[in-house]
Amino acid sequence: MNAPWYKYGLFNDEISLVVAVLIGIGFGFFLERAGFGSGRKLAAQFYFTDMTVLKVMFTAIVTAMVGLYYLSVIGYVDLSLVYINPTYLLPQIVGGLILGVGFVVGGYCPGTSCVSAATGRYDGWVYLLGFVAGILFFGELFPLVEKFYVTTDMGKVTLPQLLNLPYGLMVFLVCAMAIGAFAAAEWGEKKMAAKNQGEIK
């Protein structure tokens, strides 16, 4: 095994921070180049008029998943050393719904608002300041919601473990789901385009 590099001591904490900054800059650059610095383009996915976000992000997820899986198969990556966030099912569902509503209303998620703000968009700055204020507000209210925050603790669980399926089969199923999502996205875009053209006429 050779990776994760940090876990095998190939670089220290200071170098890991430099690597994180470089990856963050690269991620932000490619988000901007994909057009994800525009709240209109991001919100368009919820109206099925532009599904670029789904296509790009699903492609990134599948690429990373397949790459990690095959690197583990050939013995290069030890997946047991890859950090996994603990699952607190109900709090994370509620958090996801809040984030989703904010995404629809504001047109950004936290990452894309940073991209938007970095390119000088005023709405990006407003959204960025809003979620920083939300973080501070949540910090002040945390003692009131702490019990709920740690409910339904499932530990560090993955879908193959939860469903008792081989990792390879889960990789295949997610890839199949991605292909289906891409086809549905294309169909939805065409339907909405045809509907909008009909309304214009």
Output the 3-class SS for 162-201.
HHCCCHHHHHHHHHHHHHHHHHHHHHHHHHHHHHHHHHHC
- Verify that 151 and 164 share a domain, yes or no: no
- C-alpha 121/C-alpha 107 separation (Å) is 12
- Verify that 33 and 73 share a domain, yes or no: yes
- Verify that 72 and 6 share a domain, yes or no: yes
- Verify that 76 and 175 share a domain, yes or no: yes
- Verify that 76 and 162 share a domain, yes or no: yes
- C-alpha 195/C-alpha 11 separation (Å) is 55
Q: What percentage of the chain reaches a pLDDT higher than 70?
A: 98
Containing structural domain, residue 101: 85-155
Tell me which residue has tokens 């709240």: 39
What pLDDT, on the 0 to 100 scale, is given for residue 200?
Answer: 60
- Verify that 124 and 169 share a domain, yes or no: no
Low-confidence winner among 6-15, 53-62, 64-73, 74-83 (lowest mean pLDDT): 6-15
Mean pLDDT, rounded, of the chain = 87
- C-alpha 134/C-alpha 34 separation (Å) is 27
